[in-house]
A and B are shown apart, each in its own frame.
Chain A
Amino acid sequence: MRLPEFLRTTTFQWTLTIAAVFIAASLVLVAYIYHQSMTAGQARVDSALIQEVRNALADDPGDAVTRINARLMDDPRRVRAAGLFSRDHGVIAGNIANFPEPFTPNLEISSIAIDRNDGNFIEKQEVHAVGAELPDGNIYIVARNFDDFLPFQDSLINILAVALLPATLLTLVCGVILSLRTQNRIEDINRMAQRIMIGHLDERLPSRGTRDDFDKLVDIINTMLDQTEHLMREVKGVSDDIAHDLRTPLTRVRAALERGREHATSLEDLRTAVDKGLSGIDQALGVTTALLRLAAIEHGQRNAGFGEVDLGSIVQAVVELYEPAAEDKGIKLFSGGLNHLGLRGDRDLLFEAISNLVDNAIKFTPAGGTVTIELVKTDDNLILRVSDTGPGIPVAEREAVFRRFYRTDKSRNLAGMGLGLSLVAAIARLHGFRMHVADSLQGCAIEMICKPTAA
């Protein structure tokens, strides 16, 4: 059987729990009241019984029968009993039919059963009894039955019923109402979530402005949605950029092939056209490869390749790889600073990042210039700096260059750029470095900075 929806809400479950706790607490309280009242009442009666026997002991034994009769005279609730017995337990006076067994007349309370004699019939009664031997040898017993306490018990149960049942019902009703409210709230959120899911990404979950738990939750989810929307827009922007970066070379390919097909007059002409086409396609492939690598690095799949590496030796390897290219271009390539610097990282990726920086620097530096790679350790930071004497990066563009597809206008005509620096930035992030374009008197200085690890 399926429970109605609202009965399954957390709110209702809590209501049930609270109702149960409330009922249990009330029962304990009533039980305590009952127990306290009973014991206090009985204790009062017990001490009166003992006092009565003491009085009888102090009195003339000859008056015992009179005392008993006086005690039994006014007892409409039939709770008092008393008896005077001879030394051999014969009845002398009172309404106790026979000497109770076992019973010791030692001035102490005992809970026993007696046979109560009301003249015309005999009844068994549970009593508290006290007895003592009088100076003349007779035994004097007084007793008290507690059946008259029973109505108090009944009234307590009545109070319980009258107070507890409505209170519990009221709690449950409140629980149902609160649950329905909760459910409505969830339904509202659900409706809006459905709309968002089918693509209305600019919509937000409804908040009531009451700063309650739901509002807090809604705020959290809305912030998440803001982030998602932002990312989606970014992805869309990136897709546009990808389309641009692929279309540009593909357009060239198309034009080259078309012209070659229409106008080539020799095999050599045709070959030239095809070569142009191939180089355009290679450029387009380069873009896709770089994008895939960027995605892989940004998703951190390459942490697997981490180990102890020496940044100094990587710098040396980069210098060795690029020195001939720099020399051919009439550029001096220097390395400076520390020769060794150990850290945890991926050797291949770090090599690729530094290569990228050096590659760019050489590309943008005119003949006669210099490119310098430095590895510096300051008090707080570890800096790898690649500086050159090229045209530099305008202050306004310094943060933007690490974004995907960003290009300064000057570099637009240089092939294979655009993604290079964002690849470097991704690798840097993976290693806990941040990228920074430093102020430089002339040219450009790009820094990878990180806090040295404790090790």
Chain B
Amino acid sequence: MISLAHDQESAPRMTRVLVIEDDPETAGEILAELSSHGFDVDWAATGRDGLARAESGNYDIMTVDRLLPEVDGLTIVENIRSSGIKTPVLVLSALAEVDDRVRGLRAGGDDYLTKPFALVELTARLDALLRRPADPRETVLHLGPLTVDLIERNAKRGPRELDLLPREFQLLEYLMRHAGQIVTRAMLFEEVWHYRFDPRTNLVDVHMGRLRRKVDAGGEPPEPPMIHSVRGTGFVLRAPS
């Protein structure tokens, strides 16, 4: 709060993240990871402290642990939402049941991530939340040579029409909306298939493999790839440089 004035003055403002997490070691890992991605991170170790900082409203995004001493995580989210603060919130929790997730989102959370999680997963989800305000009314998405027409339900790479199955089309649409960001397998499974259980085989990879063959390997002469794998994590769609 003290640094408020400085932040508004400093020209290239860093993304400010508030991490409300009671376990110091977990918090330490999260802080280190987010800092290395260029975020400016604050840490609150108790619910009360977290709520006070969150209500200062000076953050771009925050992560809230569900089970906290003093003030429970969902109460924090409910409180800041009722005081009109719209900062995106990622709820972190060791409670993994579907009902817990629904409760987390109903309280005003924007996404829900179950502990333990991979740090890249956390970063990817924060990225997705930060960039969410892309206009959802857009009906034709563009990225480099790729064009996806949501009304006509067709996709083209340059002049080449891509022959996509409905699910592949949805996958591509999701990647286009999150172009340049890492999307994890779990995010895809949740957002494209709308299933929340953990598929044991690499189902997402298989589907992504098909989409990739159509987008990147179908051209003649060979075109540079646009869908890239991120090792152990997921995928990212980029315009060819």
Contact = CB atoms under 8 A, between A and B. Distances in A.
Interface of A: 275, 278, 285-286, 289, 292-293, 296, 301-302, 304-305, 320-322, 324-325, 328, 348, 351-352, 355-356, 359, 362-363, 416, 420
Given A292-B96, A348-B195, A416 B203 contact: no
B206 A325 contact: yes
A285 B116 contact: yes
A177 to B, nearest CB: 58
B135 interface: no
A305 B99 CA distance: 9
Contacts of A286: 198, 200
A46 to B, nearest CB: 90
Interface in B191-205: 193, 195-203
Given A302-B98, A304-B99, A352 B197 contact: yes
B210 interface: yes
A320 B194 CA distance: 14
B97 interface: yes
Given A321-B203, A324-B206, A325-B203, A301 B97 contact: yes
B210 A348 contact: no
Given A275-B232, A301-B99, 13 more contacts: A286-B198, A289-B96, A293-B96, A296-B97, A301-B97, A302-B99, A324-B207, A325-B201, A325-B203, A328-B209, A351-B195, A359-B200, A362-B201
B200 A420 contact: yes
Task: Indicate the size class of the contact surface on chain B.
Answer: 20 to 34
29 contacts: A275-B232, A278-B232, A285-B116, A286-B198, A286-B200, A292-B97, A293-B197, A296-B97, A301-B99, A302-B98, A302-B99, A304-B99, A305-B98, A320-B167, A321-B199, A322-B203, A324-B203, A324-B206, A324-B207, A325-B203, A328-B206, A328-B209, A348-B196, A351-B195, A352-B197, A359-B201, A362-B201, A416-B200, A420-B200
Interface string B97-108: 111000000000
- A-B pairs, top 9 by smallest CB distance, nearest first, are A324-B206, A416-B200, A325-B206, A352-B197, A296-B97, A324-B210, A359-B200, A324-B207, A328-B206
A284 to B, nearest CB: 10
Interface string B127-143: 00000000000000000
Interface of B: 96-99, 116, 167, 193, 195-203, 206-207, 209-210, 232
Contacts of A324: 203, 206-207, 209-210
Nearest to A352: B197
Contacts, number: 52
Contact of A289 (B99, B195, B198, B210): B198
Contacts of A420: 200
Given A305-B98, A324-B206, A324-B207, A363 B201 contact: yes
B38 to A, nearest CB: 23
Contacts of A416: 200
A289 B95 CA distance: 10
Mostly, the B contact residues are: loop
A72 to B, nearest CB: 106
Contacts of A355: 197, 199
Nearest to B114: A289
Among A325, A328, A351, A363, the most chain B Cβ lie within 10 Å of the Cβ of: A325
Contacts of A348: 98, 195-197
Contacts of A305: 98
A424 B196 CA distance: 16
B193 A321 contact: yes
A328 B209 CA distance: 10
A278 B117 CA distance: 12
Contacts of B99: 301-302, 304
A100 B195 CA distance: 111
A377 B77 CA distance: 49
A322 B201 CA distance: 10
A44 to B, nearest CB: 90
A287 to B, nearest CB: 11
Contacts of A278: 232
A363 B207 CA distance: 17
A355 B199 CA distance: 8
A148 to B, nearest CB: 91
Contacts of B210: 324
Among A275, A278, A301, A355, the most chain B Cβ lie within 10 Å of the Cβ of: A355
B146 to A, nearest CB: 21
Contacts of A285: 116
A296 B100 CA distance: 12
Contacts of B203: 321-322, 324-325
B241 to A, nearest CB: 26
A355 B196 CA distance: 13
Contacts of B96: 289, 292-293
A328 B202 CA distance: 12
Contacts of B202: 325
Contacts of A320: 167
Contacts of B198: 286, 289
Contacts of B201: 325, 359, 362-363
A352 B195 CA distance: 9
Contacts of B197: 293, 348, 352, 355
Contacts of A362: 201
A348 B195 CA distance: 7
B215 to A, nearest CB: 15
Among A275, A293, A420, the most chain B Cβ lie within 10 Å of the Cβ of: A293
Contacts of B116: 285
Contacts of B209: 324, 328
A169 B202 CA distance: 85
Nearest to A351: B195
Contacts of A304: 99
Nearest to B202: A325
A240 B164 CA distance: 49
